[in-house]
Amino acid sequence: MVRVPNPGRTPHRSLCMAASSASSAKRALLPWARNAHHALARALQGSGAGGSLHGAPLSTAAGGGRWSLLQCRRRSSLPQRDAADRSEPSDEDTGGDIDWDNLGFGLTPTDYMYVMRCSLEDVVFSRGELSRYGNIELSPSSGVINYGQGLFEGLKAYRTANRQGYMLFRPEENARRMQHGAERMCMPSPSVEQFVHAVKQTVLANRRWVPPQGKGALYIRPLLIGSGPILGLAPAPEYTFLVYASPVGTYFKEGLAPINLVVQDAFHRAMPGGTGGVKTIANYAPVLKAQMDAKSKGFTDVLYLDAVHKRYLEEASSCNLFIVKDGVVATPATVGTILPGITRKSVIELARDRGYQVEERLVSIDDLMGADEVFCTGTAVVVAPVSTVTYQGQRYEFKTGQDTLSQTLHMALTSIQKGLAEDKKGWTVAID
Ligand code: COI
């Protein structure tokens, strides 16, 4: 176990401030942090102040003793990037024995991850650093484990055609979406600059894992989690932003071939007022049952309907949905239950650039059944053509292959992402 060095501060300084300084510090906190502060205090009072935290006795001593004696020692088993590790991996030094032609979407552990922390007293994230990729230590009572206080993002880095560098696709959009989600989940979030910096550092540190051109991408997974301990339901007192990466190929086992979806009308992915519109980790485990059922019956993935009318399309387990009818494109509007996908947003723009009318609206199951073409979009999925959708035992078929809009959009999007087409929109960010 290695402790993360925390320059510029007392290593074991409590997150839970001395009572005398607490009120002034509290005033400076953001609303989420103020609430968390109150809740933490309540939870601790309710606990009877007995027991210990990381072995430090809890006490009711006056004048801030109660808080200051809560030595919320922040320990971590994050493996560090030591001096021996600092030799830069070369481009030629590619990722081990990896079979670049059969990547799929499995996890291949890479060399480094980026970690940055923020406590209630810090209010903002600071001092992020790379460390060796490996297990992390979390309190059993951390907010993320107990109450699902967490968000994730997904983006890809591609090797540029001339092998001189790497390209990210709209990373600021991921950063902003994380900020929006953090607001909803009562978490502080990294600034856009911090987010993009962390992503770039992660790519550079793992550059031997970026697949050769045409073989896939380095999938980057930023996480924002409530890592601090909390027992009563409240925002965690400490947050961790962590970025790791894995080389990936196509998401579905079908590869680039069309996929087969089944409409789920018993389980729902999201509800009005819920968290469907943000990328919280809590949106994903609940779809596993439907996904497993669907896979066991030979379907690729599940298509969800709205929870109120059971009539309007929402999204698939891991991607947004589009239909095309008589040359008009429609996709469910992002009104809170649907994730505002970055690929979705880009594809809408690319389709409009090509003269298509694109409607963001309620899309009913009847609209779907009458569509000419159906496709899914997502960072992992890219643009995936749908060949069949099964609804209440009835199978509907759609156009796939050459001369489909999905194929045009797939080509247009991936050419920009890989640096094979001019990026007139300024969507790509080079890492040299
Ligand atoms: C992505 O497309 O990046 C996602 O986050 C979907 C995930 C379930 C693989």
CATH code (residue 376): 3.20.10.10
- Same domain flag for 89 and 235: yes
| Any ligand 1 atom below 6 A from CB of 110 | no
- Same domain flag for 64 and 85: no
pLDDT score of 50: 26
Q: Which of 232, 219, 222, 223 is nearest to 104 (CA)?
A: 219
**């997974």: which residue's tokens?**
221
Decide if 1 is inside a domain. no
Q: Please report how many Cα atoms fall inside a 13 Å half-sphere around the Cα of residue 133, on the Cβ side.
A: 18
pLDDT score of 367: 98
- Same domain flag for 291 and 218: no
- Same domain flag for 32 and 90: no
The torsion defined by the Cα of 133, 139, 141 and 143, in degrees rounded to 10, comes to -40
Q: Return the sign of the alpha-carbon dihedral for residues 120, 121, 124, 129.
A: negative
- Catalytic annotation present for 279: yes
Report the DSSP pairing between strands 217-226 and 238-248. Answer: antiparallel
pLDDT score of 93: 59
pLDDT score of 294: 96
Decide if 431 is inside a domain. no
- Same domain flag for 94 and 224: yes
Alpha carbon of 154 to ligand 1 centroid (Å): 6
- Quote the number of domains for the chain: 3
Report the DSSP pairing between strands 301-305 and 313-316. Answer: antiparallel
Given the CA of residue 154, which atom of ligand 1 is nearest to it? 3
- Same domain flag for 43 and 87: no
Alpha carbon of 281 to ligand 1 centroid (Å): 11
- Same domain flag for 85 and 212: yes
- Same domain flag for 54 and 75: yes
Structural domain including 399 reads: 259-424
Decide if 152 is inside a domain. yes
pLDDT score of 410: 96
- Same domain flag for 232 and 308: no
Q: End-to-end distance of the chain based on CA atoms, in angstroms?
A: 34
Decide if 253 is inside a domain. no
pLDDT score of 328: 98
Decide if 432 is inside a domain. no
Among 381, 383, 413, 417, residue to substitute to test ligand 1 (most atoms within 8 Å of Cβ)? 381
Q: Return the sign of the alpha-carbon dihedral for residues 350, 356, 360, 365.
A: negative
pLDDT score of 27: 31
Alpha carbon of 323 to ligand 1 centroid (Å): 20
Decide if 4 is inside a domain. no
Give the CATH number for residue 202.
Answer: 3.30.470.10
CA dist., res. 183 & res. 20, Å (int): 29
pLDDT score of 51: 27
| Any ligand 1 atom below 6 A from CB of 246 | no
CA dist., res. 360 & res. 370, Å (int): 17
| Any ligand 1 atom below 6 A from CB of 154 | yes
Alpha carbon of 208 to ligand 1 centroid (Å): 23
- Same domain flag for 172 and 71: no
| Any ligand 1 atom below 6 A from CB of 250 | no
pLDDT score of 16: 26
Tens of pLDDT along the chain (432 residues)? 223 333 223 222 222 222 223 333 333 333 334 444 433 333 333 332 222 222 222 222 222 222 222 222 233 344 444 433 444 445 555 676 889 998 999 999 999 999 999 987 888 999 899 999 999 999 999 999 999 999 999 999 999 877 678 999 999 999 999 999 999 999 999 999 999 999 999 999 999 999 998 899 999 999 999 999 999 999 999 999 999 999 999 999 887 899 999 999 999 999 999 999 999 999 999 999 999 999 999 999 999 999 999 999 999 999 999 999 999 999 999 999 999 999 999 999 999 999 999 999 999 999 999 999 999 999 999 999 999 999 999 999 999 999 999 999 999 999 999 999 999 999 999 997
Given the CA of residue 379, which atom of ligand 1 is nearest to it? 2
- Same domain flag for 86 and 228: yes
Can you say how many angstroms the Cα of residue 241 is from the centroid of all Cα atoms in its chain? 11
pLDDT score of 163: 63
Decide if 214 is inside a domain. yes
Domain boundary among 79, 101, 121: 79
Decide if 286 is inside a domain. yes
Domain boundary among 62, 79, 96: 79
- Same domain flag for 320 and 199: no
pTM of the model: 0.81
Alpha carbon of 290 to ligand 1 centroid (Å): 17
Which residue type is seen at 331? Answer: T
Element at 205 (helix H, strand E) = helix 192-205
| Any ligand 1 atom below 6 A from CB of 275 | no
Which residue in the list 279, 289, 399, 425 is annotated as catalytic? 279
Domain boundary among 79, 95, 126: 79
34: Cβ contacts below 8 Å, ≥ 6 apart:
26
Q: Please report how many Cα atoms fall inside a 13 Å half-sphere around the Cα of residue 351, on the Cβ side.
A: 28
Nearest CA, atom 3, ligand 1: 154
| Any ligand 1 atom below 6 A from CB of 280 | no
Kindly report the backbone phi and psi dihedral angles of residue 413, in degrees, each rounded to the nearest multiple of 5, phi listed first.
-70, -50
pLDDT score of 256: 81
pLDDT score of 122: 82
